[in-house]
Amino acid sequence: MKDLSVKSSAFESGKLIPKKYTCDGQEINPPLTIEGVPKEAKTLVLIVDDPDAPSGTFDHWVVWNIPASMGKIGENNVPGIEGMNGARQIGYFGPCPPSGTHRYFFKVYALDTELSLAVGSKKRDVEKAIQNHVLAKGELMGIYSR
């Protein structure tokens, strides 16, 4: 499996996510740049989650059928079909840790297919649907504390 490069002009991997992109700010998604997408890829999937949440991994954003040719996800932009986040809402839910410093993983998968899932599907449905279709993957991790 190939590696994707996932970066943001808003923060570096392992560094603080600016307040603007959190529940303490405008709560909009940060810009992302994706490089190394295989030519045969048809779509991308983006999953943003927090494994440090007290009740288990919290899903902050689930998006699929992002055009593989895009290469970028703009700030405050919906690039594909959105699923259900951990707050039981469709769309982006910014970092909002109840205490301590949490890690937020922006995971991108390049797929050889388009997914046939309903708007509002959950992360587990997306993860099941991408099995045997992932050509490349990469991630960016940011941290945030309140």
> In the chain, what are the domain boundaries?
2-145
Q: Are 4 and 36 in contact (CB under 8 A)?
A: yes
For 76-94, the pLDDT digits (tens) are 999 999 999 999 999 999 9
Q: How confident is the model at residue 3 (pLDDT cuts 50, 70, 90)?
A: very high
Judge whether residue 62 has pLDDT over 90.
yes
Q: Which CATH class is domain 2-145?
A: alpha beta
Indicate the pTM of the whole model: 0.97
Collapsed DSSP state (helix, strand, coil) of residue 130: helix
Q: How many angstroms separate the CA atoms of 59 and 107, rounded?
A: 11
